[in-house]
Amino acid sequence: MGAPMRRQFLHDNRLFPADSVTRAIAQRLFKEVRDLPIVSPHGHTQAQWFASNDPFPDPARLFIVPDHYIFRMLYSQGVKIEDLGVGTYGQTPEAQKAFDARRVWRIFAEHHYLFRGTPTRLWLDYIFQNLFDLKERLTAKNADAYFDAISEALATPEFRPRALYEDFRIEVLATTDSPLDSLEHHLALAKSGWRGRVIPTFRPDAVVDPDYADFATNVARLGEMTGEDTSTWRGYLAALRKSRERFKAAGATATDHGHPTAATADLDAIEATKLFDRVLRNAQPGTQTESHAQHAADAELFRAQMLTEMARMSLDDGLVMQLHPGAFRNHNADVHTRFGRDVGGDIPTATDYVHALRPLLNRFGNDARLTLIVFTLDESSYSRELAPLAGHYPALRLGPAWWFHDSPEGMMRFRELTTETAGFYNTVGFNDDTRAFLSIPTRHDVARRIDCVFLARLVAEHRLEEDEARELATDLAGNLARKAYRL
């Protein structure tokens, strides 16, 4: 670090403010947390990588194909998704055969300038320099040299998943998994004797969201897996309970819920039973009897009720709840149809929390044994709704700046807009939330830097003393996540 050649595209003082007083404080604070172990309580890496410990494929398949931040930007500027081999299309035999990793890499390199000012640029520069020892900024000209250097490194033992996990100083890494998943890789890892801690997270969207593809089939499959009759409300709840137990046994400490809104409901058992029956009947192919509007309302109410059911189960089994609401999924119908989920333009929407969360919070929000971590894509809710709610309900905590806001400016706004009302201790530290395993260190690096900058400003403006800021920096870098996620 700091060697003249490297200074070129990744500065050791990156993200620190220019003002020398604040910068000096930020540097001192960052020194305390820079090398702390990484706690990653929420993300989308694959347990299989660590179970099999196979080398990662070529640079294109590693960096471009799975990264929606990257292909979204390329697509917005006219690059064709077919040319990147992305999504379901990329998984067809023809596409796999035609896939030319070097060609995809060159397209990316030619468009690298599009990422100026974005977190993607920061993340990749860190990886290129710190992991692959590259010394010049990526351009169309050095694209091939980059490709070769990265390819060469990926073939070495140091770049196998487990070796990187250790090199990254990861303390715990949570994946995100369906109740229909066998968790075989997590179980294999546990038996393997490897010291890494890769734990699943219970994400039941496929079996609690009536709008999820193949919902009825999924619910039936859940019944088979648990030996419960999931055609009844009672059996369905029992199956979910068993499924959660299975996750817990495999190391899970949390659940996660990705809903279009933050709506919750608190129906009585009779209403809930009727709703379940209606929803399940309507989900059977060929048996839809409800109007589209009625079905949509039922689906929304069912998701809402299921959040409250999950909270009830969390009070029993101790799993921490996470709620990630507010994305309009697959906004681009044509691209969704042709390339599948996570490619078709997920776009945030205005999201209400104050009315939406009330049924659940009024039922369980006063119970400090429950932890419900809420995220948002609607920054206008930070100071207006989320900080006041988290600054009141014992069960509620604020998740960090998420997705489009997982960025230097986004993280800074999160602190500026929540701290004065919710404080630091109603937040839960950082989530890297990534599919890109190699980006985990840089994402935590960015988060720790920005928190240190925010704290440094408070110290420089005499709103906090430096010993307090040091303690806070350490708490934000890991302790709050350990506590909130019960790790």
- Residues numbered 85 to 124 that lie near its own copies (CB under 8 A) are 113-119, 121-122
| The one segment of 53-61, 180-188, 316-324, 420-428 that binds its own copies by CB under 8 A | 420-428
Window contacting its own copies (CB under 8 A); options: 163-171, 231-239, 341-349, 431-439 = 341-349
Give residues 121-160 in contact with its own copies (rule: CB under 8 A).
121-122, 137
> Contact between 424 and its own copies (CB under 8 A)?
yes
State the minimum distance, in angstroms, from the CB of residue 329 to its own copies: 11
The answer to the question of residue 313 lying near its own copies (CB under 8 A) is no
Q: Which residues, at least 6 apart from 239, have a Cβ–Cβ distance to it below 8 Å? A: 222, 223, 225, 226, 228, 230
- Which of 384, 435, 482, 483 forms a contact with its own copies (CB under 8 A)? 384
β-strand 38-40 against 320-323: which pairing, if any?
A: unpaired
Decide whether 280 or 476 has the Cβ nearer to its own copies: 476
What one-character DSSP code corresponds to residue 177? B
The yes or no reply on residue 421 touching its own copies (CB under 8 A) is yes
391 is a contact residue toward its own copies (CB under 8 A): yes
Binding of residue 340 to its own copies (CB under 8 A):
no
In angstroms, rounded to a whole number, what is the distance separating the alpha carbons of residues 277 and 231?
Answer: 8
Q: Distance between alpha carbon 99 and the CA centroid of its chain, in Å?
A: 28
**Residue from 109, 390, 447, 452 that binds its own copies (CB under 8 A)?**
390
The reply to whether 293 sits near its own copies by the rule CB under 8 A is: no
Phi, psi of 257, deg, nearest 5: -135, 120
Structure tokens at 96: 């796999």
Q: What are the Cα distances from residue 84, in Å, to 70, 218, 322, 476?
A: 10, 31, 33, 37
> Which distant-in-sequence residues (6+ apart) come within 8 Å of 249 by Cβ?
none
Tell me the CA distances in angstroms from 44 to 262, 377, 434, one per residue in order: 21, 18, 5
Asked whether position 261 contacts its own copies by CB under 8 A, the answer is no
Interface with its own copies in residues 450-479 (CB under 8 A): 457-458, 460-465, 468, 471-472
Q: Looking at beta carbons only, is 183 or 411 nearer to its own copies?
A: 411
Q: Are strands 372-374 and 320-323 parallel, antiparallel or unpaired?
A: parallel
Strand partners, 398: 374, 427
CB of 404 to its own copies, least distance (A): 5
Residue 172 main-chain phi, psi, to 5 deg: -155, 145
One residue of 141, 331, 341, 486 binding its own copies per CB under 8 A: 331
Rounded Cα–Cα distance for residues 8 and 139 (Å): 13
- Give the interface size with its own copies as a residue count (CB under 8 A): 94
Smallest separation (angstroms) from its own copies to the CB of 294: 20
Whose Cβ is closer to its own copies: residue 75's or residue 215's? 75
Which residues are CB-contacts of 286 (< 8 A; sequence separation ≥ 6)?
Answer: none
CB of 460 to its own copies, least distance (A): 4
Of 117 and 227, which CB lies nearer to its own copies in the complex structure? Answer: 117
Q: What angle do CA 172, 310, 170 make, to 5 degrees?
A: 5
Cβ-in-10-Å burial (0-12, 13-18, 19+) of 395 comes to buried
In 3D space, the residue among 369, 367, 264 whose CA is nearest the CA of residue 310 turns out to be: 264
Smallest distance, its own copies to C-beta of residue 340, A? 15
Query: What residues numbered 211-240 form the site for its own copies, per CB under 8 A?
Result: none
Indicate which single residue of 89, 99, 194, 404 sits in contact with its own copies (rule: CB under 8 A): 404
Q: Does 13 bind its own copies (CB under 8 A)?
A: yes
The H or E element containing residue 288 is none
Q: Minimal distance in Å, beta carbon 10 to its own copies?
A: 8
| Nearest to its own copies of 112, 248 (CB atom) | 112
Footprint of its own copies on 348-377 (CB under 8 A): 348-350, 352, 354-355, 358, 361-362, 365-366, 368, 377
Distance in angstroms (rounded) separating the CA atoms of residues 336 and 424: 39
21 lies in the binding site for its own copies (CB under 8 A): yes
- Shortest approach of its own copies to residue 457 CB, angstroms? 7
Q: Which is nearer to its own copies, 23 or 248 (CB)?
A: 23
Contacts of 123 (CB under 8 A, 6+ apart): 436, 439, 442, 443, 446
Among 1, 2, 35, 77, binds its own copies (CB under 8 A): 77
The only residue of 19, 133, 144, 167 in contact with its own copies, by rule CB under 8 A: 19
Nearest to 263 by CA among 325, 334, 217: 325
78 binds its own copies (CB under 8 A): yes
Query: Which listed residue (107, 207, 267, 422) binds its own copies by CB under 8 A?
Result: 422
Q: Applying CB under 8 A, which of residues 392, 435, 482, 483 lies at the interface with its own copies?
A: 392
Q: Binding to its own copies by residue 383, rule CB under 8 A?
A: yes
Taking the C-alpha atoms of residue 243 and residue 223, their distance in angstroms, rounded to an integer, is: 10
